[in-house]
């Protein structure tokens, strides 16, 4: 977990589990296991590039609080 409870994390995986949820947009697929999906349903993921580097940002309508850096949340 993160400083606010749950923490966002990304990893590359070659295997798809039978119970994974797959969301595909513009040729990019994102997989979520059932436990994670219940907290991420309805979220949007954006990729941003700027002077300080690049990063993924997540807008999660289920999060009631987030930490200052945006990498963790609670529901």
Q: Please, how many CA atoms are within 13 Å of residue 1, restricted to the half-sphere of its CB?
A: 9
pLDDT value, residue 3: 61
Q: What is the dihedral of CA 33, 36, 37, 43, to 10 degrees?
A: -130
How many other C-beta atoms are found inside a 10 Å radius of the C-beta of residue 41?
A: 13
Q: Which fold has domain 6-74?
A: Hypothetical Protein Aq_1857; Chain: A; (2.60.300)
Among 57, 6, 13, residue whose Cα is nearest residue 35: 6
* pTM over cut 0.85: no
pLDDT value, residue 72: 63
| DSSP H or E segment with residue 69 | none
Structure confidence at residue 70 as a pLDDT band (50, 70, 90): low
* Between 22 and 71, the higher pLDDT residue: 22
The structural domains of the chain, with segments of one domain joined by +, span: 6-74
Q: Which residues pair with 47 in a beta bridge?
A: 56
Check pLDDT > 60 for residue 2: no
- pLDDT tens per residue across span 5-47: 778 888 888 899 999 999 999 998 999 999 999 989 999 999 8
């Amino acid at each position: 977990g993160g400083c606010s409870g749950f923490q966002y994390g990304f990893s590359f995986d070659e295997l798809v589990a039978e119970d994974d949820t797959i969301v595909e947009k513009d040729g990019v697929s994102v997989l979520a296991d059932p436990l994670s999906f219940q907290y991420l349903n309805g979220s949007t993921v954006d990729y941003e590039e700027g002077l300080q580097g690049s990063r993924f940002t997540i807008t999660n309508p289920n999060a009631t609080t987030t930490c200052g850096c945006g990498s963790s949340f609670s529901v």
